[in-house]
Structures are given as C-alpha cells and as structure tokens.
Chain A
Amino acid sequence: MKFNFSSFSKSYDKERLPRKKIEFIIDYLEKENFKVLFFLNEKDYLPNSKKINLFKTENINYSSLFSKNESVPFIRISKHFKSNLFQENQNPLVDISGHLIGIKLKSVYLGAFYLQHSKFKKEYIENLLEYFKHLIQSNFNEIVLGDKLKKRSSDLRNKKLEFESFLDISELLSDNIESEILFQNLLEYLVFTMNATKGIILSKDPNSGIYDLKASLGINDDLSKKILRENKGVLALLKKRKESLIQSSNKDLSLLSYSKKNCVLGPFMSGENLNGCIILYDKESRNGFIDFNQYDLRFFNSIVKKISLSYDNIILLENIKKSKKLIDNIMSSISTGIVKINLMGEIEYINDSAIEIFKFNNENLLNNHYAMVFEDNMNLVELIEFAESRNHILYEENLNILKKDRNETSINLTISPVFEEGLNSGSVISFEDLSDINKVKSTFKKYVSENIVDELLLNEGSLELGGVEQEVCVLFSDIRGFTSMSEKLEASKVVKLLNQFFDKMIDVVFKYGGTLDKIIGDELMVLYGAPLKKKNDILNAVTTAKEMFTTLDKFNKEIVADGFPELRIGIGINYGKVICGNIGSEQQMNYTVIGDTVNLASRLCSAAKPGEIIISESVNKELIGNHEFVLNEDLTLKGKKRPVKNWKYTHHIL
C-alpha cells in the first residue's frame, strides 16, 4: 500500500498540507473499517474535522510505554495506563485486539494512535501498522515543525513590527509637526505596537507644575479636568525612580485605576526633572489580558528614552510656534503695514496690512529683494537704501506710492534698523496708509471740528453711515433782513461779509461740537448728536446759539467800523428723531439729516425775531433750572395742525 499525495501538494499550502494528509489517512482507514483513535497532549495537531478521533491526554509518560517497542498490543497495556488515556466516561470501549503506536518527534513522544481491524490477520496488521506509523509520524513531524515555524515567523513579524514602529517613532520625533499631533501619534504607535489596550501621555506645565493630558487613547474619563501633580501617586514614583517601570492595577492611584491587569510607565526626564510621562495599560493576548513582561519593558524603555531626549526640543518648538502664531496674529490685526528685510535686502516677513496697502496679489514676496518687490516705487526704494546706509531710523510723512492696482495713495513711512545681539540684522519698514484717514478728514473737517474727526477715526464703530434713525438736536440760524441789505451792497462785498460772518459762527459751532450740515444763502444748519452722539448735545446747541449772539456783537463792532451795517440773526432749535445718512445721488452725496424735527427747527428759526432763540418743548425739557427761556405764545406753523408750544430767549446787546 502506498498513498500518492502529489495532488495534495498542488491544492494546499505548506501549512495546511500535513493536516490534510492526516485527514485523508484517517478517512481511508475508516473507510476500510479500521477503528482509528489518537491520544495527544496537544489537540491542535489533528485537523478540526478529525477532533472526534482525539483523546486529549495530559502528562502521560509515553516513553515508558514505548520503551521497548513503538507498537504495543492494546491487550498488554496496564489498567493504570489505560485509565490515564481515557478520562472518565469517555472510554469508547476500545477493542483489545487493536494496537497502540507511538508518535515520536526525535526522541520525544507527542502521543500515540490506536488502530484496530476485526477481520485482518495479525501478520497483515503488523505490516500495516509499521507503514502507518511512519506515515503518521512523518506528517506529525511536519505539523509540529510547521507550527514551530509559524510561531517563530509570527514572533519575527512581531519583532519586525516593533522595529518598524521604533523607526517610525524616530521619524515622528524628527518631524516638524504640532506637539499635540506628535504626542497622539507617538501614543498610538506605542499602544498598537505593544498590544496595549489604552494609554495616556502627560506633560508638565512649567508654570503651574500641573501635568496636562497631551494625548489619550481608550480612556473615557476626562483626565484634562483632574489636577495631576508630581508630589504624590504615580508621578511621584516616576520622579523618584527616573526610569520605566511596570505597575499592577491599583484602584487607589488614579492613574493606575484605568488598568485591569498591569501597566508600563515611562518618565520623560530632563536631568533630575520629570517633564512628563507615558502610561500604557493592559497588554492584550488572544486569550485576554496578560502582564507586560521584562521584554516589553525593555522595548518600551528604549522608546521612552528616545522621546525624553527629544522632549525638550518638542516643547521648545511648540513655544516657538505659539510665539510665532501670536506675533502673526498681532501683525495681522494691526492696520500698519510691516515688512522685515534682512541684511541682503530680502524680505523675511510681510504682514497682511502691508500686502493690502500695496495691493500685492499672489506675488512671491518672501525672500525677494525689496527693490524688486517695490520696483514701482523708486522713491520708497531710495529711502530704504538711504536708511540702510545711515543705519538709523528714518521717518517720511505723506509719501506718495503707486499700488499694484495702479492707484496712488500716500503713506507715513518709518524705517528702523533691527539689531540682534548688537549686530544689525536688517530693517523693519512700517507703512501707515493715509488714504482712508485723508478721505475721512477731508470729508468731515469741513463740517465738524477736528476733535470730532479724530474721535470718529479713533472710534469707527461710533460712526454709522447710511440711513439710521437717531435723536439729534438741530439748530437753524438766519440773518434777518439780509436780502434787503444785500441789495444795497456790492455783490463782492456781500460775499466777503458773509464769509467773515460764517467763519466766526462756525468757530462757535465747532467749539461746542456741532456739525455744520449746510449753509443755504444766509442760513446755517447745524447738528448736535450726528454723526457722533454726545451726552450734552441739547445744552451744547443752546450754548452755541447764545454764544453766536455775543460773537456777533463783537463782529458787528468790527464791520460797522468798516462801514457795513450791523447783522442781526434769529435762531431756532429743536430736538427729536431724524434720519441720518449719506443722502443724495451717486454723483453727489452728502451726510445730512431729514425729518420733521428738522422742519420744525427751521420753522422756529423763521419765527424768531432778531436777537431771539426759539426752542421747542423737547429742548426746553432738557433745560431744567434754566430761567433764561420763557414760555412764548403758541406758534401756528406751516405744516402743523396744532399750535406749537415754544420758549423764547432774547439776547440783549451789552
């Protein structure tokens, strides 16, 4: 008899082949009515499909049984030995005519197999036994060697995985990545390489001494809310021992309470100081948790030492990045353009405002020479060259520059040399864009006092342009009898007189924070509370009106001396809601106010006689304790259904 397994070799890989052969042999023998049983110390040697033929044995000394012959008739086996072969209630009533044959690997017995056939003669059986002994033994040898090889391959793969992880961790430590990401990656590498279930990395805050959670995996507790210090517990232990160690689970120590079995702890040491640590919890195996062993500790320690060496650099890099981010944020938030050039004249830094002022658009600015970057502005280039040659601070006001969009603007320029450890390392150029400031100033300075312009520029939020409703005090003044007077004077003299008059009046207006809305002929319209609302808008309007009279008194003395007739004015003031905003067409747009409040102020002005200020009820309410204004007769005004209550102040020329 000879089995041909050549077709098997093609169908099955090396690992599965010997078990398949055993399966085939058993199938063959059973088909030929043999009873086949196996007694093995290791159940996995038999293929799964043939486990029914297996009796798992434990601590049986097969060597003594087969000391004389590797094949023993079952009848000759002692009762004691038989009872060891079968556990209670599992004896399958083995026929005593069968034989037990040892399965030996080198000099060690793996077990035995039993073969019995009721019909074949003894001589035939003995020959057959010899053949199957060799066949089964050789296949079991292959199984055992294959399993050993598989185990060693697996060990080798695990070692390779550790080695690869070690290399990956080394690479990670040299990568320029955010420390939070770096620590998380390090932890993940260590957890999966060491088959841990979870882990954490803590890092000491040098200011508070409290350990912050830098990375975690598999920990559900919010550890970041716990105060962890090195004066007690695990951190104190690590600080004292200064080396990696294995610790069993301990419910009393918070950092060890996450473990069910044991954990490995590694300190990040810098000399005598503990800077942080890494803890891995509970090693997994296929059969549940197992203890981290000394080999694990050795591998872990080598990595922890590597992290320790890099730790200072990681933190330093993190601090540098934080500082850079802070400076970038500051530089981005300021409206002043900043450019840093090095000694070679190359741009090392440029902030967003500088890019905006010059309208640079995706140009390659960094590391480019300033003469190239500012090639459209030779005046600027020359100033930088000059400042560089003199090595001192240079200021230039209202410098006109050409932006990349071909529009011009003016800037205030400062060029300052920069010194590092006493040596010049280049210059910082700062630009203050005057375009917006000039636009606003030129727009408003005709209408409001300089201090209001400055205040508006300082506090942009206070200025709301474009159709907002707000409460405003409106003052109208009008020269009485001006039309008839002007008819008697030359036109040029009238214009000159009016200009002088308005100069004086507007000075008073600006003195009390008024906004000159418009001049219509001989009439002035002034606002208090627009565009900028102030606390004493009404009082300021009334004070302005009163001072306009005293100023006019002085002015009249001057003009009378020049042969002009005296000017007399009447003033009306009202306070109430108006619509403020830039009103007009695209071609001409003016900041003004409209509404009933304005109309009433104008009507009150019309009703005022020369030397009189007429105020509305809303203005009078704000003048508590002021007895200069007296209740006047109700006025019937155009556009008003009911008579209007009003108060009157009469100016007496001193």
Chain B
Amino acid sequence: MSKIIDKNIKNGVVIVSTEGYFNKDLGEALKEITDQEIKEGHKSFLINLDQSKIVNSIGASILIEIIEELQTVEGSLNFCNLAPIIAKTFKIMGLTKYCETYENEEAALQKLA
C-alpha cells in the first residue's frame, strides 16, 4: 500500500516519489534512501508526495529525523505536491520551519538545482 515509487537525481537534487499512506514503513523506506544518498555526498532532497494523501505523526517524526541528519551535512529536505491534509500536518508537527514546500517538481527544481 505504501511505497517508494521512484527515485532519480536531477541536477544534484535527489527526487524521491512516494505512494500511499506516509507512515512508519514508508518513512523508514525513505530514510534508508536518504541515509544512503547522504553517504554518497548528496545534500539536496526533494520528496514528491503527489501520490501520498495522508501522513501520520510517526511518518512526520521520521521526516524530522531526516531533516536532523541533513542539517549536520548542511543539506536540505524539500517537498512538493503536498495534499492539504499533509500540509496541515506538517505545519502542526513543526516541519515547515525546517523545510521548503513547492507546488510541483518543476517549481522545486528551479529553486534547488
């Protein structure tokens, strides 16, 4: 139900697309990817949440962990295509202070690349 559906790198930005409920499983799958990419020297990440319409607090807390990891290497976690419920949850969970959100991939890449 919840999975990573795509990962690619454009102009140095690691773009990861998810599908389904952003919970612990999906959060951990994403963290595995970000940990690996950070090791390989990537610092800029864009998470495309177009196919994920809900996130729980465990998923959000894993995103905070990823942001913490990225802060230690001066990196950034960014999001695009946020469903209204996810945007609201991110705001309540305090994520929006530490990350940028974009309307879509193109808009994000214009800023990040």
Contact = CB atoms under 8 A, between A and B. Distances in A.
Q: Is B a genuine binding partner of A?
A: yes
Contacts, number: 56
Interface stretch (B3-11, B35-43, B85-93, B104-112): B85-93
A192 B21 contact: yes
A579 to B, nearest CB: 58
A463 interface: no
A157 B93 contact: yes
Interface residues of A, number: 23
Interface in B64-113: 85, 88-89, 92-94
A218 B57 contact: no
A218 B54 CA distance: 12
A217 B58 CA distance: 17
B57 A161 contact: yes
Contacts of B55: 192
Contact of B61 (A196, A220, A286): A286
Contacts of A650: none
B90 to A, nearest CB: 11
B92 A197 contact: no
A164 B21 contact: no
Nearest to A188: B54
A91 interface: no
Contacts of A153: 94
B23 A188 contact: no
B92 A157 contact: yes
Given A153-B94, A157-B92, A218-B21, A284 B54 contact: no
A161 B92 CA distance: 6
Nearest to B65: A286
B51 interface: no
Contacts of A157: 57, 92-94
B92 A284 contact: no
B24 A217 contact: no
A164 B61 contact: no
Nearest to B24: A284
Contacts of B93: 157, 161
B21 to A, nearest CB: 7
A196 B2 CA distance: 13
B1 A284 contact: no
B21 A193 contact: no
A248 interface: no
A154 B61 CA distance: 9
A189 B53 CA distance: 10
17 contacts: A157-B57, A157-B94, A161-B89, A161-B93, A168-B85, A188-B53, A189-B85, A192-B23, A192-B54, A192-B55, A195-B57, A217-B1, A218-B1, A220-B1, A285-B58, A286-B24, A286-B61
Interface of A: 153-154, 157-158, 160-161, 164, 168, 188-189, 191-193, 195-198, 217-218, 220, 284-286
